[in-house]
Amino acid sequence: MIKEFLKDKLKVKVYNTRGEMGTSAADLAAQCLRELLQHKDEVNIIFAAAASQNEFLEAIAVEKDIAWNRVNAFHMDEYTGLPVTHPQRFGNFLNKKIFSKLPLKKVYYLNEDGNDTEAESRRYAALLEKMPPDITFMGIGENTHLAFNDPHVADFNDPVLVKIIDLDEPCKVQQVHDGCFPTVAEVPSLAYTLTIPALLQSKYIFCMVPGKNKAQAVKYTLNESITAKYPSTSLRTHSDATLFLDQDSASLIL
């Protein structure tokens, strides 16, 4: 690790490489999960689906001595308008990267049937109310979004836990940068997202943000005022959140 520091309440850890970042984040997350499982019958986790999570997901999938059969999994966003078998649906991404590799108690997919209705927002919100998340594994978008809470729709006091939003242009561009779609025109315009309060209600947050394309977002996250103009600044208000960076993503703050 190169450096660690505190910004408001947010713990920040900077590593040499994204591989080291992912491995260290997985090690600390696994320790947290084991401790929770010592005191709880079940643990509920929200997962992010993004290329930035690849190293972390690969590492935590091989962690030992975790009772995954007592863990329920959720994910934080999902496109509308795509066939349920489409490889770029976030549920399918997470199933390939992590869910299919672990003997989880239950995976709760968002918009699993592809019906694209407001009723699905209420259904998933009810699940989160019934099984409040203990841990959120997440990243930060190039426009500082958390999940699909882009600046124009982010609300730190959102009255709902899940909603359908329209993606802004920088968010669509990021989907192309991440290799999810060949062109911006092919990125769906609408998506489901867990809201900021839904994501931050977890007791623990592990936020993995590698790569040069995230450097400006990291700078905003740590240096701007805490405001919905920069949704990720909300992490600085959480009682136990850790931001994991590599040299590239931390290049503007070191």
Residue spans of the domains in the chain: they are: 3-250
CATH 3.40.50.1360 fits 3-250, yes or no: yes
Each residue's pLDDT, cut to its tens digit, for the chain (254 residues) gives 999 999 999 999 999 999 999 999 999 999 999 999 999 999 999 999 999 999 999 999 999 999 999 999 999 999 999 999 999 999 999 999 999 999 999 999 999 998 889 999 999 999 999 999 999 999 999 999 999 999 999 999 999 999 999 988 888 888 888 888 889 888 888 999 999 999 999 999 999 999 999 999 999 999 999 999 999 999 999 999 999 999 999 999 99
CB-based contacts of 76, cutoff 8 Å, min separation 6: 46, 47, 48, 49, 110, 136, 138, 147, 193, 194, 198, 199
Phi, psi of 137 (to 5 degrees): -100, 120
- Would you give the DSSP letter of residue 168? P
- State the Cα torsion 70-104-43-210 to the nearest 10°: 150
CB-based contacts of 96, cutoff 8 Å, min separation 6: none
Find where tokens 């927002």 sit: 121
